[in-house]
C-alpha cells in the first residue's frame, strides 16, 4: 500500500513538472511572438517614415544633392529655405489655393452625400436598391477617366481656370454616401417613427437628429476627403492655366526650376514637400479617433 502511495505521489509530481514546463514554454513562445511582431512593426514604420525623414533632412541643406550617406547630415539652411519657399517663391499662395479647394470640396461633398444617404435610407421609392448600386457603380469611373468630356463641359460652362473648375467635379462621392448610409442604418428606427409622429420634416430631422448623432463619422469622413482632395494635381494641372491659381501639388513642380545653374533645386522641392505634408498630417493626428470610428463602420 505504501508503494502504491509513493507511485501516485511521484506521478502527480511528474504531471505538475510537465504542466509547469508547458506553461513556461507557452509564455516564452508568446514573448517571442510579441518581440517578433514589435520588430516587424518597427521595421515597417521605419521604412514608411524613411522617405519623409530624408526629405526633411534635404530641406535643411543648401543644394540638396545627396550622393552618399554622409550627405544626409542636417544642414544649416532650414530657416532660409522655408522662408524662401513660403515668402520668396510665394508657395503660400499654392497652399492657400489647395486649402480653399479642399474645404469647398469637403463642405459640398458632405451636403450632397448627407442628402443622398437620407433619401436612400429613410425614403421609399421604386428601385431604391438599384439606385444605390448605380451610385456604387460610379466608383469604377474615377475623375481621370472622365477628363475629356469633363474638360469640354467645364470650359463650355465658362468655369475654366476658376475655383469652380477644381471643386465641382469632386462634389459627388459614392464612398461618402456608402459610409453615411451604413451609419444611418445603425440608428434605431424608433427615432424615425417618433420624428414622424411629432411632425418633424426630413431636413429638420437630418439637421437636428442625424447630424448630431453622426458627428464623429462626419469628422472622419471630412478628414479622409480633405486628404484626398489636397493630394489632387492632375485635374488642376489640366483645367487651370494661371500659375497664381494652381494648387500646392502642382506648385511643387514649379519649385524645381529655381536653381541658378539650371539644375533641379532639390532642397526647394523637399522644402515644398514637407510644407505640403503638414496640413494633412495635422488633421490625421488631431482627428485620429474619429477616423478609427469611421473605418469601424466601413468594416461593419
pLDDT tens for 182-222 read: 888 888 777 777 877 777 788 888 888 888 888 888 998 89
Same domain for 136 and 41: no
User: Are 135 and 177 within 8 A, CB to CB?
Assistant: yes
How far apart are alpha carbons 296 and 281 in whole angstroms?
21
The number of C-alpha atoms within 13 Å of 210 and in the hemisphere containing its C-beta is 29
C-alpha cell at 148: 475629356
Count of CB atoms situated within 10 Å of the CB of 181 = 20
Same domain for 209 and 166: yes
Q: Is residue 287 part of a domain?
A: yes
Same domain for 269 and 167: yes
Q: Give me the pLDDT at residue 277, please.
A: 92
Same domain for 234 and 179: yes
Q: Is residue 71 part of a domain?
A: no
Same domain for 230 and 99: yes
Q: Give me the pLDDT at residue 275, please.
A: 93
Same domain for 243 and 102: yes
* Helix (H) / strand (E) containing 99: helix 91-122
Q: Is residue 200 part of a domain?
A: yes
Q: Give me the pLDDT at residue 16, please.
A: 63
How far apart are alpha carbons 238 and 202 in whole angstroms?
40
CA neighbor of 237 nearest in space, from 96, 116, 94, 111: 94
Q: For 13-27, 73-87, 193-207, 223-237, which range has the lowest pLDDT when averaged over its residues? A: 13-27
Q: Is residue 72 part of a domain?
A: no
Q: Is residue 78 part of a domain?
A: no
Same domain for 261 and 114: yes
Q: Give me the pLDDT at residue 257, please.
A: 65
Same domain for 20 and 103: no
Same domain for 51 and 103: no
Q: Give me the pLDDT at residue 254, please.
A: 78
How far apart are alpha carbons 7 and 14 in whole angstroms?
11
What number is the average pLDDT over the span 79-95? 90
Q: Which domain holds residue 202?
A: 88-295
On the question of pLDDT at 67 being above 80, the answer is no
Q: Give me the pLDDT at residue 2, please.
A: 53
Q: Is residue 74 part of a domain?
A: no
Same domain for 240 and 143: yes
Domain end call among 58, 80, 103:
58
Average pLDDT score, the chain: 84
* Structure confidence by residue, pLDDT tens digits, 150-171: 888 888 888 888 888 889 888 8
Domain end call among 9, 37, 58:
58
CATH of the domain at 271: 1.10.3720.10
Given its phi and psi angles, is residue 9 left (phi above 0), alpha (psi -120 to 50 degrees) or beta?
alpha
Q: Is residue 156 part of a domain?
A: yes
Q: Give me the pLDDT at residue 47, please.
A: 93
Same domain for 161 and 40: no
The DSSP-derived string for 203-270 is HHHIIIIIHHHTHHHHHHHHHHHHHHHHT--HHHHHH---GGG--HHHHHHHHGGG-TTSS--HHHHH
Domain end call among 58, 75, 99:
58
How far apart are alpha carbons 188 and 285 in whole angstroms?
31
Q: Is residue 102 part of a domain?
A: yes
Same domain for 220 and 147: yes
Considering its fold, how many domains does the chain have in total? 2
Amino acid at each position: 500500500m505504501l508503494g502504491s502511495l509513493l507511485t501516485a505521489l511521484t506521478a502527480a509530481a511528474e504531471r505538475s513538472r510537465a504542466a509547469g514546463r508547458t506553461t513556461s514554454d507557452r509564455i516564452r513562445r508568446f514573448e517571442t511572438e510579441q518581440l517578433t511582431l514589435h520588430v516587424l512593426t518597427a521595421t515597417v514604420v521605419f521604412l514608411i517614415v524613411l522617405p519623409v525623414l530624408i526629405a526633411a533632412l534635404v530641406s535643411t541643406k543648401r543644394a540638396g544633392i545627396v550622393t552618399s550617406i554622409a550627405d544626409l547630415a542636417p544642414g544649416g539652411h532650414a530657416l532660409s529655405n522655408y522662408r524662401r519657399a513660403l515668402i520668396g517663391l510665394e508657395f503660400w499662395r499654392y497652399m492657400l489655393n489647395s486649402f480653399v479647394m479642399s474645404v469647398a470640396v469637403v463642405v459640398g461633398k458632405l451636403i450632397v452625400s448627407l442628402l443622398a444617404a437620407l433619401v436612400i435610407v429613410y425614403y421609399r421609392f421604386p428601385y431604391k436598391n438599384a439606385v444605390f448600386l448605380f451610385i456604387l457603380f460610379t466608383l469604377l469611373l474615377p475623375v481621370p477617366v472622365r477628363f475629356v468630356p469633363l474638360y469640354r463641359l467645364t470650359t463650355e460652362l465658362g468655369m475654366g481656370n476658376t475655383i469652380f473648375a477644381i471643386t465641382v467635379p469632386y462634389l459627388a462621392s459614392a464612398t461618402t454616401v456608402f459610409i453615411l448610409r451604413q451609419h444611418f442604418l445603425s440608428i434605431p428606427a424608433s427615432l424615425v417613427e417618433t420624428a414622424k409622429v411629432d411632425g418633424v420634416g426630413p431636413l429638420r430631422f437630418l439637421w437636428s437628429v442625424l447630424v448630431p448623432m453622426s458627428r464623429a463619422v462626419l469628422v472622419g469622413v471630412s478628414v479622409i476627403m480633405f486628404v484626398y482632395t489636397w493630394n489632387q494635381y492632375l485635374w488642376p494641372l489640366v483645367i487651370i492655366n494661371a500659375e497664381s491659381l494652381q494648387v500646392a501639388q502642382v506648385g511643387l513642380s514649379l519649385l524645381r526650376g529655381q536653381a541658378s545653374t539650371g539644375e533641379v533645386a532639390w532642397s526647394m522641392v523637399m522644402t515644398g514637400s514637407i510644407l505640403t505634408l503638414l496640413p494633412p498630417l495635422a488633421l490625421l493626428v488631431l482627428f485620429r479617433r474619429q477616423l478609427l470610428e469611421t473605418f469601424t463602420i466601413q468594416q461593419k
